[in-house]
Amino acid sequence: MASWVVSECSLRPFTAVKIHHKPRPSLPSNTINAFKFKPLPCSAFKVPTLWSKGRNLGGLGLLNVSAPLKVTITSEEDKGKEESTTDGVNNGEFDPGAAPPFKLSDIKAAIPKHCWVKDPWRSMSYVVRDVVVVFGLAAVAAYFKNWFVWPLYWIAQGTMFWALFVLGHDCGHGSFSNNPALNSVAGHLLHSSILVPYHGWRISHRTHHQNHGHVENDESWHPLSEKIYKSLDNATRLLRFTLPFPMLAYPIYLWSRSPGKKGSHFHPDSDLFVPNERKDIITSTACWTAMVGLLAYLSFAMGPMPLLKLYGIPYAIFVMWLDLVTYLHHHGHDEKLPWYRGKEWSYLRGGLTTLDRDYGWINNIHHDIGTHVIHHLFPQIPHYHLIEATEAAKPVLGKYYREPKKSGPLPFYLLGILIKSMRKDHYVSDIGDVVYYQTDPQLYGTNK
């Protein structure tokens, strides 16, 4: 329907172009509400025939525009204030890509002060508990040595290796204690025992947290851009999205990172690190090498098959746990979640795309790593306070917090979510600052 545009000389008819409030995969989202506007000539604006409730600028309801609006951020403080004016609801629908109506400081203020307190004795008690269980399981399996016990042992021990990793992960974040030396020693012992280079992983994981939800800059399970996806050969694509291969990717990632990125977690001159981190990387690689040497010695002392049963297969189970958990904390929600780049990305908006998961009985075993949203926003909070902190933050987060589906005693339901995501979440557009996963219908040789 024709409407009117103000010209410098007169009024002239113009066909309105609607702004899509719900973000599309290749378009920036909510740039109208997220930023302050610079004045433009009169010819830039359409005179509306209707008012837009709660969305006006200088008395004009912005239902339609005839030219792109020029936007600018005057300061980080102003940006936070602008973000707080939107409610994330467009046309009655919640828009997960919209800037939230709260700031990071609002969430932090809602979390009780004692949740930030780190107790090194309590942290060490979890280490002692897990180490005792690991050696106890190994002793039981070695004692019985039968094929009824071995599969049960592999699953249980692999899960305990994953629990050790989570404690080392807390050391890397500094949530284990306020003592950097204790964090480093405990982290090296825990991670080296399961063939993880402590400092190398700690630094890359820090990069992941600092850039969570960013298409290009995120480090862990970030989406492939359409260009990179299409540059991969068919075999690589299939391996990346066909189970169980993605669940065995972690050791490969440690050596060569993700497609489109270069570097190794073991090499001090890797693109992952800055020059003043060289000594840390050399130290961690030396500890990792020492563990490999110990395993080589044990393979000669006790034979390769016993070592494979006692350590090798549990290690593979641990890798599956790690890849499963880290993937599903950023993928697989029923509602498509946004990924950001450019000016649309912020630490808060990126962190709000993470997901909590319920693991049933495993929650306590792997130290409540499923409470992932608050952990991603505030990694300094110890794992034993994450549940309380999450409950306190929920009223502030509102619809930006997605309540996890309740698990049975064992989280078998996650396998269905994983399979569905692998079939659908393949790449994101090269264009746009707010993008969503797209599906390659020809990946498995069929058009759907």
pLDDT at position 133 is: 98
35-94 pLDDT, tens digit each: 333 444 433 433 333 333 333 333 333 323 222 233 333 333 334 433 444 566 666 688
pLDDT at position 92 is: 67
Residue 72's DSSP bridge partners are 36
Say which residues have a Cβ less than 8 Å from residue 235's Cβ, sequence separation at least 6.
none
Angle, vertex CA 322, rays to CA 318 and CA 325, nearest 5: 130
212-245 pLDDT, tens digit each: 999 999 998 899 999 999 999 999 999 999 999 9
Q: Residues 157, 312: contact at Cβ < 8 Å? A: no
Say which residues have a Cβ less than 8 Å from residue 429's Cβ, sequence separation at least 6.
25, 26, 225, 226, 435, 438
pLDDT at position 445 is: 76
Rg of the chain over CA atoms, in angstroms? 25
The fraction of the chain above a pLDDT of 90, given in percent, is 73
pLDDT at position 259 is: 77
Q: Of 115, 108, 112, 84, give the one whose Cα is nearest residue 98.
A: 84
Strands in 11-15's sheet, in edge-to-edge order, are: 11-15, 2-6, 46-47
187-210 pLDDT, tens digit each: 999 999 999 999 999 999 999 999
Sign of CA dihedral 286, 288, 289, 293: positive
CA distance 43 to 9: 10
CA distance 257 to 273: 13
CA distance 3 to 13: 5
Angle, vertex CA 438, rays to CA 430 and CA 448, nearest 5: 135
Q: Three-class SS of residue 255?
A: helix
pTM: 0.80
Name the pairing type of β-strands 46-47 and 56-57.
unpaired
Average pLDDT over residues 254-262: 86
Which tokens go with 138?
A: 């190994």
Q: Residues 86, 99: contact at Cβ < 8 Å? A: yes
pLDDT at position 129 is: 98
Length of the chain equals: 448
pLDDT at position 40 is: 42
The fraction of the chain above a pLDDT of 70, given in percent, is 79
pLDDT at position 90 is: 61
Which tokens go with 32?
A: 């109208």
Which tokens go with 310?
A: 């006692």
CA distance 114 to 169: 21
Kindly list the domain boundaries of the chain, sorted by start residue. 114-438
Average pLDDT over residues 298-313: 96
Amino acid at 190: L
- Evaluate if residue 268 carries a pLDDT over 90: yes
pLDDT at position 257 is: 87
- Residue 261: how many CB atoms within 10 A of its CB? 15
CA distance 118 to 124: 11
Average pLDDT over residues 416-421: 96
